[in-house]
Amino acid sequence: MDNCDGWNIVLYIRVAEMICLAIITTLMWDKLMMFNGNMQVTGIVLDYNKQIVKDNIFVANGNIDKIEKLELIMDTRLSSFLIYNINKANDSLIHWITYNLLELSDLNIYAKNNGSFYLDNNFNLKTVFSMIDGNYGFIIEELRHPSVLNVPIINAFIYYKSLYPILGKFSEKSLIYHARNISEISNVSCAPDYSEYGNVCIITEPIINFGNYTLFTTYHIKFLSSGSVIEFKYIKNNTYNNNYDLQLDIHPSFFGGSIVTSYLSISLKLKMKAPVLIPPDPSKNYTNMTGSVILLNGTEVSWNLNQLNRFNQSTQSKDPLNQNHLIFKTALFNLMKNNTYILYVRYSADEWDIFSIDLPKSRNDHGYENPNVISTFPKINDNNIIPGNIHKIRVTFSSNISMSLNNLTIYHLDANTNKLNLRKFYSGSSDCDILFNHSLSCDVTSSIFNQWNATYIIVMDNNFVMFSSTNEPMYGIEEYRWNFTTIPCQQPDKKYADTAIGTIRLTLGDDIKNDSISDIANNVTKELADSIPISSDRLQQTNRYQNDLSTSSRRYIIQLKILPTTDPCQATVSQIINYLNELIRDKNSLIYKNNYTKYLSSSHGFNVNVNLWDEIKFKLLGLLIGIVVLGLICLVARYRYPEGQNFMIFSVVIILFDLVMDILFIVKNGKDVSQLDLYHPRLGLKFIFKTVSVQKYMNVTNIKLKIFIIKVSRFHMAYL
């Protein structure tokens, strides 16, 4: 097994005298669990280069002789997993432990949580499955043995309860199925339904015996995460020979319908059960494997397993009913998200096969590996995107939706490191709108998709939206599914501005308050340059800082300088100013995930320092022209009327200008000063006005006194 890239299977390997379990679940890691000599089950995580990523991961206490059942359940996004086991000494005690695969970059991997719980008498754990919201569903069977007229009647009850792994708590159990007068529930397989119905369980039970045969009936039950049953439906009947022990698994498919796999154990008492991750007894032999898929419309499609059931003299069945069927020791199988069925069969210690079959889908897939997503904008693999030209992203769903709890995240794919770099994320309360009940539209600023010839990937978490009809969480869009690329640089004509200088405001957090302000400014500048992204030599701090005294917390104004470029494929100074302002003012952008820029003030943004000369030069020119014009008018008036008060022309213009400016000041800044602060000046001005107003009715001939009266009257109107 030198190359296993892309597999998603469950696999057993024998190492010396120990049974090792390798489960290949993602394109990055294998998980190897083994029973060591210290009476513990430990794990090893391997990459596809056969290098150990993590080792000595605790799984359970005890050894293979003490553990009755051990299973590993991956969550629906393959980002964490749950391991549970049942100890033979006390089969009513269930131990569980959860790990987070996203922590594999650390030196050691730690469990997110762990715990245990007891089952009551007559209860047993049938199966565990992952749920879309990140929880795990536990399916528990209860058998009761009442008697009617001294005739025993077995009642079977199937309960569901969910584990919240972060809290380590279980919900109350809910009854989802009840059957009377049956010996047992033969098979229970459960999974998310990826629809508004929430979850689905496939249940098979024996109905009646006749001669050497038994009739089995299979149903599916759909129920919400709260435990409310939504749909109960008959699937099929099957008849099996009682001379064989039937191993049966009927599992829900990601795209709807059910996958049926069965094989026979030779010369053993009939007992149907779903295969578990502990290998079958090596002394037992199995044969006659069959497989089929049951579509949502009830159609059953069988697939060919002739390669598996081929004639082989060395391993031919000795049973007269199965002389042409191959005997095997172990059979394990898994269904990938794209509906590819993977089957592993071991015939002996050194002979085994792996088969893969592409199965039909009951639901349409538009390339997102999510039957609920119909389309997106930008489209999958779109390579005609112009940088900065996308102002909204949209997702259209097949059902009505409402906003929920988790995130939709935009990443940039680094072509050199193949690493995903965060650009922006949207939460359930972010700038997203629901259109026509089934479409989602989110605003995007020009700073997000701003690079030429760059690949962007959008990831939608599970439970970012939910079905509005049932409030069930909806499955999201995985990494590397919704990706698109901007066009190469077209070398457009650009106007290259000069250097710009602006300021940002930063409040010192507890983790950086002991750093020097120069180190903080350097780190902030570097993180901002990486976030845009631009070369670090185009964004520099000027070593000018100002302590902001407007608040009690330590807050600084830091001055930055943006340098120009002549490269047409690089952002201009004006574009960088816009990018900085958008990123800083957006609390859901990548800069608020950095160590230093997360303390920037979103309300301040990036304020460009105004060039005073550029700001007032035209105003000064207009003022100069006005003075010259007024001067010429005064000279002409003095020439024609030498005895007149010609300077009144200047006075009237200045008084009117002053009046307009005072009114504008009061309208815009009148609330900057409280009424109490204006009370005493108001009394003084009122007294002056009353004193001076007497003179208004006098025969005033002094022009300067007239001007004074006009100004006092104006102030009186303003303040009173």
Whether residue 384 has pLDDT greater than 80: yes
CA dihedral for 524, 530, 533, 538, sign (positive or negative) = positive
CA distance 114 to 84: 9
Assigned fold of 373-485: Immunoglobulin-like (2.60.40)
pLDDT of residue 147: 73
The one-letter amino acid code at 482 reads: W
CA dihedral for 51, 57, 63, 64, sign (positive or negative) = negative
609 neighbors 557 (Cβ within 8 angstroms): no
- Give the contacts of 490 (CB within 8 A, at least 6 positions apart): none
629 three-state secondary structure: helix
Residue 45, CB-side half-sphere exposure with 13 Å CA sphere: 23
CA neighbor of 162 nearest in space, from 140, 193, 195, 187:
140
3-class DSSP string for 498-515: CCEEEEEEEECCCCCCCC
313 neighbors 305 (Cβ within 8 angstroms): no
Output the six-digit token pair for 29: 């890691």
- Per-residue pLDDT tens over the stretch 233-256: 998 888 877 777 777 777 788 888
Please identify which residue in the block is written with the tokens 């435990």.
227
Cα angle 142-148-154, degrees, rounded to a multiple of 5: 25
H-helix segments, 484-611: 517-531, 573-585
How would residue 714 be classed by pLDDT, with cut points 50, 70 and 90?
A: low
Over residues 589-595, the mean pLDDT reads 92
CA distance 296 to 196: 15
Higher-scoring residue by pLDDT: 338, 600: 600
276 neighbors 188 (Cβ within 8 angstroms): no
Rg (CA), the chain: 38
- Give the contacts of 611 (CB within 8 A, at least 6 positions apart): none
Please identify which residue in the block is written with the tokens 């929880």.
135
Calculate the dihedral angle through the C-alpha atoms of 661, 664, 666, 669, rounding to the nearest 10 degrees: -110
- Per-residue pLDDT tens over the stretch 190-228: 999 999 999 999 998 888 888 888 888 889 999 999 999
- Per-residue pLDDT tens over the stretch 597-628: 999 999 999 999 877 777 788 888 888 888 88
Output the six-digit token pair for 556: 């600084």
Assigned fold of 500-608: Alpha-Beta Plaits (3.30.70)
Q: Which residues of 553-579 are buried (b: 16+ CB within 10 A; e: fewer)?
A: eebbbbbbbbebbeeeebbbbbbbbbb
What does the mean pLDDT of the chain come to? 79
Please identify which residue in the block is written with the tokens 């592409």.
358
CA 296 to chain centre: 30
The one-letter amino acid code at 255 reads: F
* Domain coordinates in residue numbering, the chain: 373-485, 500-608, 647-719
Lowest mean pLDDT among 34-43, 150-159, 179-188, 467-476: 34-43
**CA-to-CA separations, 592 to 85, 114, 588, in angstroms, rounded:** 41, 32, 7
Higher-scoring residue by pLDDT: 458, 635: 458
CA distance 29 to 305: 29
Query: Residue 92, Cβ neighbours under 10 Å: how many?
Result: 15
How would residue 520 be classed by pLDDT, with cut points 50, 70 and 90?
A: very high
Percentage of the chain surpassing pLDDT 90?
Answer: 35
Query: Residue 148, Cβ neighbours under 10 Å: how many?
Result: 8
Output the six-digit token pair for 329: 């020791």
Cα of first residue to Cα of last residue in the chain, in angstroms, is: 93
Q: Which residues of 682-701 are buried (b: 16+ CB within 10 A; e: fewer)?
A: eeebeeebeebeeeeeeeee
**CA-to-CA separations, 229 to 174, 232, 233, 234, 668, in angstroms, rounded:** 9, 8, 11, 15, 63
Residues linked to residue 701 through DSSP beta bridges, in sequence order: none
Whether residue 528 has pLDDT greater than 90: yes
Whether residue 350 has pLDDT greater than 60: yes
Residues linked to residue 302 through DSSP beta bridges, in sequence order: 292
CA neighbor of 72 nearest in space, from 3, 107, 116, 22:
22
474 neighbors 466 (Cβ within 8 angstroms): yes
351 neighbors 329 (Cβ within 8 angstroms): no
In this structure, what DSSP letter does residue 541 have? E
Higher-scoring residue by pLDDT: 302, 543: 543
In this structure, what DSSP letter does residue 473 have? B
3-class DSSP string for 427-490: CCCCCEEEECCCEEEEECCCCCCCCCCCEEEEEECCCCEEECCCCCECCCEEEEEEEEEECCCC
3-class DSSP string for 6-19: CCCCEEEEEECCEE
In this structure, what DSSP letter does residue 716 have? H
CA distance 32 to 20: 7
The pTM (predicted TM-score) of the whole model is 0.77
Please report the DSSP string for 202-226 in residue order: EEEEEEEEETTEEEEEEEEEEE-TT
Q: Which of 240-249, 308-317, 550-559, 587-596 has the highest mean pLDDT?
A: 587-596
Whether residue 705 has pLDDT greater than 90: no
Output the six-digit token pair for 8: 């998603």
Cα angle 706-711-714, degrees, rounded to a multiple of 5: 130
pLDDT of residue 630: 78
Residue 506, CB-side half-sphere exposure with 13 Å CA sphere: 28
- Per-residue pLDDT tens over the stretch 136-179: 999 999 988 877 677 778 889 999 999 999 899 999 999 999 98
